[in-house]
Amino acid sequence: MGRLEGKVAVITGAAGGIGRVASARFVAEGCRLVMVDLSTEQLEQAAADLDPDRVEICEADVSSVQDSQRYIKAAVDRFGGIDILVANAGIEGQVARIVDYDVEEFDRVIAVNLRGVWLGIKYAFPQMIERGGGSIVVTSSTAGVTGSAVLSAYNASKHGVIGLMRSAARDGARQNIRVNTVNPCPVETRMMRSIETGIDGDDAQSVYERIQDSIPLGRYADPAEIANLMLFLVSDESSYLTGGVYMADGGSTS
């Protein structure tokens, strides 16, 4: 028996570095899955090696009300309901100090990283209540508990989802819906390459090495190490855990 046998999951940002690995892991553990991201083509690539009988892909922008309702409906229509939501889609936004940061870019980061998570929770809740409960994992970050001079919108959004998670955990507790965040430090994905280049476009490699050095374990996380924590938090093994902030940060915030 897989650890997610019989469950239906939705993962947003499923074509990205962490979401793709988590998708494969969840399906290997027996669940049926809706993979949500911005581009059908990228979703098809991410799902290429997965069992098509267990996977539905759904092109959707998580910051849109209609798209959020549509991806939840896709899970209900194809698989009969939802037990698990991993609200993982996110963008880093500009790498700039506050005085140089575009106002529109600030709004976009908050729309995707905070409003998008709120919408996912809002529309998943009724479906989870129908099933007698569920588990929601939100991808926050070490940026959700610390600050960086050049990632103000990202920092604000990742702090924001912790508050949202705590509220949703209290909201859903008596209906057996658990809500937690995972908080990774730098992970080996596209997002960190973008941030490293944003910090120093002429010498991104030095930035990478400097950040690695600052992490007690001395390296970035592998996406699988984040997916492992997500898997535990959405499985019944974590049945008493809700309202928690789970650092996966190599000791960075110790």
For residue 121, what are its two tokens?
A: 């929770």
Active site residue 208: no
Among 190, 193, 210, 219, binds ligand NAD (CB under 6 A): 190
Greatest alpha-carbon pair distance for the chain in Å reads: 54
Stretch near ligand NAD under the rule CB under 6 A, chosen from 16-24, 96-104, 205-213, 239-247? 16-24
Identify the three-state secondary structure at position 115. helix
Among 4, 11, 18, 229, binds ligand NAD (CB under 6 A): 18
Phi/psi zone of residue 252: left (φ > 0), alpha (ψ -120 to 50 degrees), beta?
Answer: alpha
Report the nearest approach of ligand NAD to the CB of residue 139 (Å). 4
Report the nearest approach of ligand NAD to the CB of residue 6 (Å). 26
Stretch near ligand NAD under the rule CB under 6 A, chosen from 2-10, 55-63, 166-174, 234-242? 55-63
Q: Which CB sits closer to ligand NAD, 6 or 251?
A: 251
Q: Which CB sits closer to ligand NAD, 27 or 192?
A: 192
Number of residues lying near ligand NAD (CB under 6 A): 27
Q: Which CB sits closer to ligand NAD, 141 or 180?
A: 141
Stretch near ligand NAD under the rule CB under 6 A, chosen from 1-9, 98-106, 128-136, 180-188? 180-188
Distance CA 88, CA 121 (A): 12
Q: Can residue 187 be called a binding residue for ligand NAD (CB under 6 A)?
A: yes
**HSE value, Cβ hemisphere, 13 Å, CA-based, for 107:** 3
For residue 253, what are its two tokens?
A: 């915030």
148: Cβ contacts below 8 Å, ≥ 6 apart: 154, 155
**What residue type is 61 in one-letter code?**
D
Cβ-contact 38, 12 below 8 angstroms: no
Q: Residue 202 burial (CB < 10 Å; 0-12/13-18/19+)?
A: exposed
Q: Can residue 211 be called a binding residue for ligand NAD (CB under 6 A)?
A: no
Stretch near ligand NAD under the rule CB under 6 A, chosen from 9-17, 125-133, 197-205, 211-219? 9-17
Distance CA 180, CA 182 (A): 7
Q: Can residue 19 be called a binding residue for ligand NAD (CB under 6 A)?
A: yes
**Candidates 101, 123, 154, 246; catalytic one:** 154
Distance CA 51, CA 108 (A): 34
Q: Residue 212 burial (CB < 10 Å; 0-12/13-18/19+)?
A: middle
Q: Can residue 63 be called a binding residue for ligand NAD (CB under 6 A)?
A: yes
Report the nearest approach of ligand NAD to the CB of residue 43 (Å). 9
Which amino acids are annotated catalytic? 154
- Where do contacts with ligand NAD occur on this chain (CB under 6 A)? 12-13, 15-19, 37-38, 61-63, 88-91, 112, 116, 139, 141, 184, 186-187, 189-192
